[in-house]
Amino acid sequence: MLPGDRDSYNFGAEDVVIRAASETRTRCADHPHRRATRKCARCGRPLCDECAAQLSARGQCALCVEELEEKHRLENPTWRERAERFGRSARNFIILTIIVIAIMIPIAIGARRLMDTPLKPEELARMRYALIGTFETAEGVNTTSTVLGATVVLVTSEVVGNEATRLNDEYVAETYGGYRTADDRFPVDVVFGREEPGRVEKLHFQQQPLEPVETHVRLVEVSISMESAGGPWFSLGEFALTESLEIQRHVLTGVRPYRWIRLRVLANGGGPYASLGEFGAFTLPRASLLGVTPSDPTVKP
């Protein structure tokens, strides 16, 4: 083949391709082997003579006619279809209402019970610890806290409604009574116990705001034991308390392990009974061990 012949051949091939593409565009959409002679007035689909014979009065193909009829049916339902739709909607609404009621009733009952039953002080303490993510606070760890498993195992004098358990629930407020002895006879012992040994490096005392000043505890002795709730006891010292409603802190010399710790009330301010809001045996926070000055226990009130 000569060079000129090759150019003529290429030109002829391109012309064939263009003609084939043009003919493809004019083929019937449903019968590709037939040439299209009409188009749908709505969608523009090419149609052969056979398909064109089925066009509607508006020149629309069968697919367009079916689509428009379905659209008209949906937009203009019969009374029977409307009733069926309403029935389905009402049924779905009833089912959804039943599900919502089934979910909300237990929630409402729980919320009502929660409103009728105030949170206990130890529950508030648990929530506080959960929020900070640790049992160690700026004061250290309260090893006599009921939240950490410490319990009152022995008490020689208390009043119903003002039990010794008020001493380690980590809550002091004017609206919540603290611990009271039954009378003004001393000494009075309250013993706290732990399942696992604890440590004490600092003591906390806090007077009860509700109580008259003359009932406030003014002198206590604190002792610890590793053997039993009955001793033998190792005395950490006697501590004089003031009338202040703030936390009264006493830092000890060294770290003392214990399983039982005894708070012995020796005197009050002269009232008919003794009262105290809170008592705690703490380990010091690790970040503040340096520079701590121990408190000297006091022997006299």
Q: Which range scores top for mean pLDDT: 2-6, 126-130, 180-184?
A: 180-184
Average pLDDT over all residues of the chain: 84
Instruction: For residues 60 and 42, give the distance between their C-alpha atoms in angstroms, rounded to a whole number.
Output: 6
Q: How far is CA 301 from CA 74, 204, 207, 209, 216, in A?
A: 94, 17, 16, 21, 13
18 with 130, same domain: the answer is no
181 with 283, same domain: the answer is yes
Number of domains observed in the structure of the chain: 2
- Between 292 and 22, name the one with better pLDDT: 22
Least confident of 17-26, 71-80, 221-230: 17-26
CATH code of the domain in which 236 resides: 2.60.120.260
| Assigned domain for 228 exists | yes
Q: What pLDDT does residue 84 have?
A: 84
Residue 162 per-residue DSSP state: B
| Assigned domain for 92 exists | no
158 with 58, same domain: the answer is no
Q: What pLDDT does residue 299 have?
A: 39
Q: What pLDDT does residue 114 have?
A: 59
- Between 81 and 46, name the one with better pLDDT: 46
Q: What pLDDT does residue 123 have?
A: 72
Whether residue 273 is predicted with pLDDT greater than 80 in this model: the reply is yes
Task: Give tens-digit pLDDT for 137-175.
Answer: 889 999 999 999 899 999 999 999 999 999 998 888 888
70 with 166, same domain: the answer is no
27 with 174, same domain: the answer is no
| Assigned domain for 89 exists | no
| Assigned domain for 294 exists | no
39 with 155, same domain: the answer is no
Task: Give tens-digit pLDDT for 82-104.
Answer: 888 888 888 899 999 999 988 88
Whether residue 13 is predicted with pLDDT greater than 80 in this model: the reply is no
48 with 159, same domain: the answer is no
Instruction: For residues 64 and 168, give the distance between their C-alpha atoms in angstroms, rounded to a whole number.
Output: 83
| Assigned domain for 20 exists | yes
Q: What pLDDT does residue 293 have?
A: 46
Among 75, 52, 72, CA closest to 62: 52
142 with 279, same domain: the answer is yes
pTM for the whole structure: 0.59
User: Which structural domain range is residue 35 located in?
Assistant: 3-74
69 with 152, same domain: the answer is no
160 with 49, same domain: the answer is no
